[in-house]
Amino acid sequence: MSERCELRINVAAIERNAARFAGAAPGAALCVVVKADGYGHGMFPAARAALAGGAQWLAVATAREGAELRRELGPGVPILLLGVLTADELSIAVGAALDLGAWTVEFAEAAAAAAARQGTRARLHVKLDTGLGRLGTRDPDEADAVADLVAASESAELVAGWTHFATADDRTDSFFEVQLERFSAWGRSLRARHPRTLLHAANSAATLRDERAHFDLVRCGVGIYGLDPFGDDPAGHGLEPAMSLRATVGAVKACRPGESTGYGRRFVAGTHTTVATIPVGYGDGYRRSFEGACVAVGGSLRPVTGTVSMDNITVDLGPGGSSVRPGDEAWLLGGGGPRAEELARVAGTINYEITCGISGRPSRLLHRDGDPV
């Protein structure tokens, strides 16, 4: 390795995962979510790989993300903006030809006015809040009013009606069925008045869980990157993790009983052992809460011991670990090391946050099954 710490992204895995989701919902278009820099994988390479794998739409969370993606890809690919917008961001989003969520008459009118000023039409998706409790209107009548206004506008186009599930990733929770029925009922009414309107609701979990949630389009994010939407082993759903994080061993030293490593002396050796220092830490996105996680080094999985600092971690190699040398390879995520789901369990979080949390400090390597691109 030429760098102390390297984040590796397998774009071929993203492409195959996209194909997996396209195949899971054969009657629906695939929209791949590339917000938050492609869940930490890189928005542009993730978008291109997803399109190569069968995606027909892309989705982002902010106007800036959407405008950057439009400049990179050019016209042609629909880009759905999932989040809220300020007045200035609305102008940017309309100028970048992004599809926008709408759930109030006031916003629909503002979007149409912004489009009229720019000599274009705003493409709007009316959002019904069926139970997530964040964005969208809870009132189907208000959603209908917004849809009817948009459909009648000369400066706006009614593209779709949509919602988002709160518990699709929990197979034991019945609220998924409640939301699905609420949206299905409203969707039937909407389509009766506006037959060409698309309907979409499913995230990665819902796409794999229930074909009734597929409608006309599925919006898949976490699963596209090979992260299991249910927090299990991705291989169980035919998914391939695209991200791995490796580093070099910086130092190896014997540790006698009573000797410690790291701030606060959180690890004190009880027996003779060997400790490796690996130059990665929370400054790279390797969290303090990963203490106790494993690292693949020297042909085995060894525990992180002591406090994770900004730039270094220490790993207990055991009494037989003296064969490990400075410069040897260590895998902190993937590559024989732990999966994001395993790190998430150690940290008490979810796999999304693991990949999104890697900082910009590690060098990046894009590859296709090992071949640099």
Given the residues 253, 263, 282, 286, the one annotated as active site? 263
* Cβ(150)–Cβ(102) below 8 Å: yes
Picking from 171, 162, 156, the residue whose alpha carbon sits closest to that of residue 230 is: 171
Number of residues written out for the chain: 373
How large is the greatest C-alpha to C-alpha distance in the chain, in angstroms?
78
Q: How far apart are CA 286 and CA 51, in angstroms?
A: 30
Does 35 participate in catalysis according to the annotation?
A: yes
183 phi-psi bin (left φ>0, alpha ψ -120 to 50, beta other):
alpha
Picking from 5, 76, 77, 87, the residue whose alpha carbon sits closest to that of residue 34 is: 77
Q: For residue 291, give the amino acid letter.
A: E
Residue 226 contacts by C-beta under 8 Å, 6 or more apart in sequence? Answer: 13, 14, 17, 234, 239, 240, 241, 242, 243
Given the residues 35, 39, 225, 286, the one annotated as active site? 35
Q: For residue 55, give the amino acid letter.
A: A
Give, in order, the Cα–Cα distances in Å from 3 to each of 24, 226, 298.
Answer: 39, 25, 19
Cite the active site residues: 35, 263
